[in-house]
A and B are shown apart, each in its own frame.
Chain A
Amino acid sequence: MRITVITDSKVIKKEYDKEISISDILNDCGFNIAHPCGKNGKCGKCKIKVTGELSEITTEEISKLTDAEIKSDIRLACAARAVGDVTLYYNGNTAKIQTQSAGYMPKIDLSPITSKEDCYGAAIDIGTTTIAAYFYKFPEGICIMSDCVENPQSKFGADVISRIEYSNNGGLEELRSAVQNAIDSLCERFGNPIDTFVVTGNTTMLHILNGLDPKDLAVAPFTPKTLFGIRKNNIYFPKCISAFVGADITTAILASDMTKSATSLLIDIGTNGEMVLYHNGKLSCCSTAAGPAFEGAGISCGMPAVSGAIDHIEISQYGKISYTTIDNAKPIGLCGSGLLDAIACMLELGITDETGYIDNDFEIGDSGITITSDDIRQVQLAKAAIRAGLETLCEYQGCSAADIERFYIAGGFGCYVNQKSCVKIGLIPKELEEKAIVIGNAAGSGASMILMSSSALEKSEKIADSAEHIELSGNSAFSEKYMDALLFK
């Protein structure tokens, strides 16, 4: 079949001798379309205009597309297949996601783990959404460049489970080479030879990068092939804590220096929602698997934090809604921080209450962007997971939210989120509002610390060994708290 892909800058022609899915065609053309739900037809985020000889529309597509969209030849790229000649209209999604620079780092004594004195080192954080690299010059131990790229695995799913599923279906090598190529491109952009790497990331990411089958990570009892904490040639992989709390959390704990307080909490608010509690000399952690609602997936007008996303909303003195968008561009959707602000405002204005009920869809000012009842339910589910995870850890360790002296917020999303909104919707308890410290990409900083100091390396392995993982699924204490935390309070 003959395929024509029309973008705003060029026309691409392809030929295939058998049926092919629209998302595979886009892949072939080198376009990185995101599939947050892993091509299950569940999120509706891969909408594309396509005409010609296509497979019959599926029930999933009918539920995710409006009548108007279907009439204008919109289909879901994951569900539609070309069965004959087809024309695709693709406007690209190459906007750069807002990311933060290197996070906070405590003072350390320089004792680099490089093989020679005069050289370059790289600390790499393979995030589920973004891969960040920090390039250091030795012997000075200074970061001379930081860079990032979207994790190309996003086209296989927004969360680790969907990527493991892709690997289970024969996609391990494709996943591995996608992330390897991304790292290679970051190093090429830097341009200097790297003597030593420290590569951190969650357990699934590290398995995939090393070509290790991640299959058992996604089935109870969730067994990793290895927890790393090993050197392979000139690469050191910091130690993971469990199947779902990885080396990225180990390095974040290192960078936060959270054990300097008697009681402290660290959270990475995102799809995986990992958190760590330190109390009475003990570290306990969990993964709340909050889901990608805070990255826009599953939300009717949700989108990543790129140009045109409403990112902050507040109520002006006259009780009117005012909002800002990224790049001050015309609003085209809502990103995570905007979503939380929206609900906080709706609560403030009495448009919804703690149960999350609304009479009608709510429009954000004059933006044309709306919040639906389903959107509110998605946020309730996501924020309940995080709140209940936090309370479960506290109960397990015998402390309360009030005991927490320092509350570290790690990760990209954490840099943009409004803490007042988080408290308003009950994502975090009120006691933590004044204690919040945003530490940015702590996973990356921790990896950098390891690069710069062999004692930091030792400390990181001790952290991973001593931290206890608490499994939340099937945990009745968590379930009770989860039900309660579904309310906005």
Chain B
Amino acid sequence: MSILSDISIQIQQGRVPKVKELVSQAINDGISPKTILEEGLIAGMNIIGEKFKNNEVFVPEVLIAARAMKAGADILKPYLVQAGVQAKGTVVIGTIQGDLHDIGKNLVKMMLEGKGFNVVDLGVDVSPEAFVQAAIDNKAQIICCSALLTTTMGEMKNIVEKAKEAGIRDSVKIMVGGAPVSQSFCNSIGADCYAVDAASAADAACDFCN
């Protein structure tokens, strides 16, 4: 088995020490950092993402795999920077104003990083202005906003409006998600995309950035 396939499998099983060991070895073997990232780390997370969508694995498995990926990515990072490898894109993410729930949002962040995105996490109770400003400051391609309370969902529309006001609506995609959110709601507020779960969010982000 190639070392890259092995990395992928160890990621899926969440074996942090093994992932670290194999990534270091792959670097020593002269495999390019970009290849290690794409065919080892991201490939492993992709398989987990597909299984998550098919209900073959659930949140805990995603979490475990994501932790292993992060461990590998941390080792790889300086080499990626040196080689001038760019992130797939930049995403600003947060839970909207008035809401403190972040478990789902954290899962989306993990899946986005699993696809090679640079994710700027604004945390919870984030104002529309803060989302937009962060998108501008970080030159983000996507704003992802999450809500668990129906009573706060209206803030998502404010994010769309603020993005228009700031003149970035055409250059930044807005993705919405969270238990009470739906495709109809997404359409009604003029957002670009509704993601039903973290894996779908990551796939949609990839589509936006291709």
List the interface of chain A (C-beta within 8 A of B). Answer: 37-38, 40-42, 58-60, 161-162, 164-165, 168, 215, 218-220, 355-357, 373-374, 377, 380, 471, 473-474, 479, 482-484, 486-487
Contact = CB atoms under 8 A, between A and B. Distances in A.
Given A42-B180, A219-B149, A474-B125, 10 more contacts: A59-B184, A165-B150, A168-B151, A219-B99, A219-B151, A220-B124, A355-B57, A356-B58, A373-B55, A479-B103
Contacts of A37: 180
Nearest to A476: B102
Leading 6 A-B pairs by shortest Cβ distance: A474-B100, A218-B151, A219-B98, A473-B100, A373-B55, A165-B150
B24 interface: no
Nearest to B100: A474
Nearest to A381: B59
Contacts of A482: 103
B171 interface: no
A357 B57 contact: yes
Given A374-B55, A473-B101, A164 B151 contact: yes
A377 B61 CA distance: 13
Contact of A162 (B101, B106, B150): B150
A23 to B, nearest CB: 16
A19 B59 CA distance: 42
Nearest to A479: B103
B84 interface: no
B63 interface: yes
A161 B184 contact: no
Contact of A165 (B57, B97, B151, B182): B151
B60 A355 contact: yes
Given A218-B149, A219-B152, A483 B63 contact: yes
Nearest to A58: B184
A161 B125 CA distance: 17
Contact of A355 (B61, B95, B101, B184): B61
Contact of B99 (A164, A168, A220, A479): A220
B183 interface: yes
Contact of B149 (A161, A357, A484): A161
A479 B98 contact: no
Contacts of B61: 355
Interface of B: 55-61, 63, 95, 97-103, 106, 124-125, 148-152, 179-180, 182-184
A40 B150 contact: yes
Nearest to A166: B150
A486 B100 contact: no
Contact of B58 (A165, A220, A486): A486
A210 B60 CA distance: 43
15 contacts: A41-B184, A161-B149, A161-B150, A215-B151, A218-B152, A219-B98, A219-B149, A220-B98, A357-B55, A373-B55, A377-B58, A473-B99, A479-B106, A483-B103, A487-B60
A218 B99 CA distance: 9
Contacts of B100: 220, 471, 473-474
Contacts of A380: 58-59
Given A40-B150, A218-B151, A474 B60 contact: no
Contacts of A59: 182-184
A40 B125 contact: no
B58 A474 contact: no
A37 B56 CA distance: 26
A460 to B, nearest CB: 29
Contacts of A355: 57-58, 60-61
Contact of A41 (B55, B97, B103, B182): B182
Most chain A C-beta atoms within 10 Å of own C-beta, residue among B57, B60, B98, B179: B60
Contacts of A479: 102-103, 106
A431 B101 CA distance: 30
A486 B60 contact: yes
A59 B102 CA distance: 27
A45 to B, nearest CB: 15
A38 B150 contact: yes
Contact of B182 (A40, A162, A168, A471): A40
Contacts of B99: 219-220, 473
Contacts of B56: 357
Contacts of B55: 357, 373-374, 377
A374 B182 CA distance: 18
Contacts of B179: 42
Contacts of A484: 60
A398 B99 CA distance: 28
A356 B55 CA distance: 9
A220 B61 CA distance: 30
A42 B150 CA distance: 12
A486 B59 contact: yes
B102 A473 contact: yes
A40 B149 CA distance: 12
Given A220-B125, A486-B59, A42 B182 contact: yes
Nearest to A291: B179
Nearest to A474: B100
A289 to B, nearest CB: 9
A47 B174 CA distance: 33
Contacts of B183: 59-60
A37 B148 CA distance: 12
A285 B136 CA distance: 41
A72 to B, nearest CB: 24
